[in-house]
Structure 1
């Protein structure tokens, strides 16, 4: 099949999913613009900031669209392009987008609190603490994985080709300029409050200037140096007010990401690539069995538990009106599923003899899309650099968002819902819930694990990510039951993803124990960390799911909470 046919099928399915299923969910749950959102009601100028939906969409999309929707579908293509396409569309519409939307809805209706606090309110304090421990360990995995990806997309190394090193120096300079421009734009928006048209114009001009200057004046630093600088950056980004860096940087990057997706779609329609991959290979490949490997590998292209953290930890605190939630959360997830389909078409177009070509998923994606754009008369060298820049932007925006999420979750681990007055807390609580201290506690183990390399921990990240979606779906299902709203649409996604992720993690534990220390190419430290974290994550998740299921199926409805 050709790329145009696949793209048309994907666009039609995703648009139909938004119009019919997304709006149906919004109607069932009841969006009410008469209710003040937490951003409007609390408005502390740090985490709670009422913001226009275009800006919050930019933050949501830039934060959730990490390396996953590119890495996952390309790696999962070993099973053939049809299973990957079906899972991106079906999983995205009926599981991933539902999780993102419902998590944001539950958070907005609970003062912008996280899924952990929602579990405390409707399941119990123990469930909340176990969930937040899960999120803490998960945040360490995400920060470790994505910081390694970012450092290797910015830094130079003898392991890279000269062309890759040069592209990395341009990407590094441009990304640094993005951050500087974002801070300036953040202060301008905060104190001048420009209209949407002026804000958009300034952002696009800044984006173009950063790209031009970054390509003209690249600078070279090693991967190890960039690793240290990235951690310093995310420490700062995780604690400063969202309007000063997170919002404007994500808003700026969202234009780059959307332009990249639009250019890739146009390139596909112009070049009409043929899928050189088979439609289906086998239920069992070198990667493992289709169940559960396909589902945990595609990851963010269909469903990602990390999205529930962004929806409930950061984006929910910026929503200005309840009606904004559908396009911000459900809409952003469907755009990410479209990106997963583009990545699938990309790897299919450059496949050799029905096999995935050599190289990292990012390199495969950049090579394919730059080839599409060459048909538009755009230099493949220039477009390769731009695509590499966009991919690194995906990872960086997810990185500092999850660092903030990890910080907020760690703080909530030691706070009870009655702890409204921070000044009255005992000294030890004040120290552990200090935003700088909490951020450092997340980042130190992440830095140690990042030295192992993302390749060794990516599989664990993928499984843990999907398992987090189970916890989010279960928590929101309990909340919806308590407030007398329909929750039946949560059950099949919840139990299906539970089966997928538990089987995947158990397989991983068994494999690592069986091969422990047998391979010189895999560090025993990396294997040890994978085994320990996998066991902890499975145990924590099962306990939380059981607690939620008791509330769902073993207790009579209690008086609804508003």
Structure 2
């Protein structure tokens, strides 16, 4: 119990300490107008309140990541708490905050545009394809996951195909409609349901005295379960997730002032870390250890664990509401995944999105491809998603590091976690069966050499950009409005 409570306390402390430090490093400009005003179009660019933006951001970045990932990560034991806490404070929240703020400084640009500007024009095409592929995988996975949960919740009375069709229909509406019509109105309530259900489970664990295991030297490295690099691809959204870099520009286009960024971007990642801690603790403590958890996962996957935990901690009614909250998570990330994909493609092709017809012809092929992907094995899709997710996080952190280096600020806050995850990403793809299938020792050597070469190229490009006084931010000095 102490390890769990200490982890929660450190996450909260991290927001008020390291979060403020990162904010000072970036350098907030309160007098600077944000894209919500300078590019207001009534569809994607429009100002919304901090509270609304924060809850929407939490739902956008969450998906099932801070629940399903930590449940699977619980098989590693209490060491999972370490990655959630350290990852969220020093990697995930930094990643989300800097991505969001750099996007605000550059007319709400998405990651491919930022990568093109700060890492070279070739990267624009690479990251654009990578980001759209990631978002398609996310959207597809987040059709299958909630459909399966709803199918079970309704005792199979409604066919899976009908549920999938209804979810797709909602995604189409949410992708095409202005951001304040559906997302802006519904998500704050869904966000509240997510927070309340997670807190309910957490309080239930404390009140009922659940035997949450403590971290010790004996369980730091579970037997026959290699931690590196697999834990970083099992627990993603609760610690560090590149998917977040595709979501923050949605809110960077609706943020009223730069000062709100720490609460919206850094703070919501910390909130996600707290949610991840609660579900990891529940999975570790309520099923008689890893053996019982493994049996339940084999029988019904993470969804079965969610259902069992919710019922045990909150009763029949409260448990049903908690499960509904979990169902909402992937749906509210799936629709914004498709929305982000539409915005990225529109940005890449330089097509304004004010007209419905312009949105429609970009979005329609995305849904067609996603429907085809639903026919592929879910587990295979998830493995590729996990790797693509963390590879995207590396790109976003290197973009942030380049920005800070050129600005002559402390770029290490982004470069260190970016380099660490770069090593893990290369090691994983070299070793995994879905990659090259090389022996682990060869994979580590290859990752070390590859990472060193890429970091060297980073410094070469960064020094050149700094010498040439590379323009960091969009010029909004001629804008006459008032934020």
Same fold (TM over 0.5): yes
Q: Find the aligned partners of 1:549 and 1:138 in 2 and give their Cα distance.
A: 27
Q: Find the aligned partners of 1:260 and 1:422 in 2 and give their Cα distance.
A: 36
Structure 2 contact 62–272 (Cα < 8 Å) conserved = yes
Match of 1:346 among 270, 282, 285: 282
Q: Which residue of 2 aligns with 1:558?
A: 468
User: Aligned runs of 1:524-535 on 2, under 5 Å?
Assistant: none
Structure 2 contact 346–353 (Cα < 8 Å) conserved = no
Q: Find the aligned partners of 1:504 and 1:248 in 2 and give their Cα distance.
A: 40
RMSD of aligned residue pairs (Cα, Å): 2.8
Q: Find the aligned partners of 1:227 and 1:546 in 2 and give their Cα distance.
A: 47
1:154 maps onto 2:150 in alignment:
yes
Distance 1:544 1:383, change over 3 A: farther
Q: Find the aligned partners of 2:97 and 2:206 in 1 and give their Cα distance.
A: 31
Structure 1 contact 475–548 (Cα < 8 Å) conserved = no
Q: Find the aligned partners of 1:55 and 1:556 in 2 and give their Cα distance.
A: 37
Structure 1 contact 305–467 (Cα < 8 Å) conserved = yes
Match of 2:90 among 75, 94, 108: 94
Q: Find the aligned partners of 2:35 and 2:457 in 1 and give their Cα distance.
A: 28
Q: Which residue of 2 aligns with 1:506?
A: 430
Q: Find the aligned partners of 1:502 and 1:413 in 2 and give their Cα distance.
A: 27
Q: Which residue of 2 aligns with 1:32?
A: 29
User: Aligned runs of 1:100-499 on 2, under 5 Å?
Assistant: 100-155=96-151, 164-166=153-155, 220-275=157-212, 283=221, 289-312=226-249, 314-355=250-291, 356=293, 357-358=295-296, 359-373=300-314, 380-415=315-350, 434-499=358-423
Distance 1:23 1:70, change over 3 A: same
Q: Deviations over 1:56-89 (max 9, x none)?
A: 00110011111111111111222222x1000000
Q: Deviations over 1:288-334 (max 9, x none)?
A: 6211101110111100101111112x010010011100000100000
Q: Which residue of 1 aligns with 2:16?
A: 19
Structure 2 contact 99–245 (Cα < 8 Å) conserved = yes
Structure 1 contact 79–285 (Cα < 8 Å) conserved = no
Q: Deviations over 1:501-553 (max 9, x none)?
A: 22222333457989xxxxxxxxxxxxxxxxxxxxxxxxxx9999887554235
TM-superposed CA distance for 1:382, in Å, is 1.4
2:122 partner SS: helix
Q: Find the aligned partners of 1:549 and 1:439 in 2 and give their Cα distance.
A: 38
Q: Given the two structures, how large is their TM-score scaled by the length of structure 2?
A: 0.87
Structure 1 contact 127–544 (Cα < 8 Å) conserved = no
Q: Which residue of 2 aligns with 1:44?
A: 41
Q: Deviations over 1:421-478 (max 9, x none)?
A: 899xxxxxx99x9321221222222211112242332122112111110010111222
Distance 1:41 1:413, change over 3 A: closer
Q: Find the aligned partners of 2:353 and 2:313 in 1 and give their Cα distance.
A: 55
Q: Which runs of 5+ in 2 are unaligned?
A: 439-450, 474-483
Q: Given the two structures, how large is their TM-score scaled by the length of structure 1?
A: 0.75
Structure 1 contact 146–454 (Cα < 8 Å) conserved = no
Q: Find the aligned partners of 1:470 and 1:86 in 2 and give their Cα distance.
A: 20
TM-superposed CA distance for 1:354, in Å, is 4.3
Distance 1:510 1:265, change over 3 A: closer
Equivalenced residues, count: 454
Match of 1:54 among 35, 51, 64: 51
Of 479-488 and 62-71, deviating more is 479-488
Distance 1:127 1:276, change over 3 A: closer
Q: Which runs of 5+ in 1 are unaligned?
A: 169-219, 374-379, 424-429, 515-540
Q: Find the aligned partners of 1:120 and 1:456 in 2 and give their Cα distance.
A: 30
Structure 1: 4+ residue segments shifted above 4 A: 276-286, 509-514, 541-550, 553-556
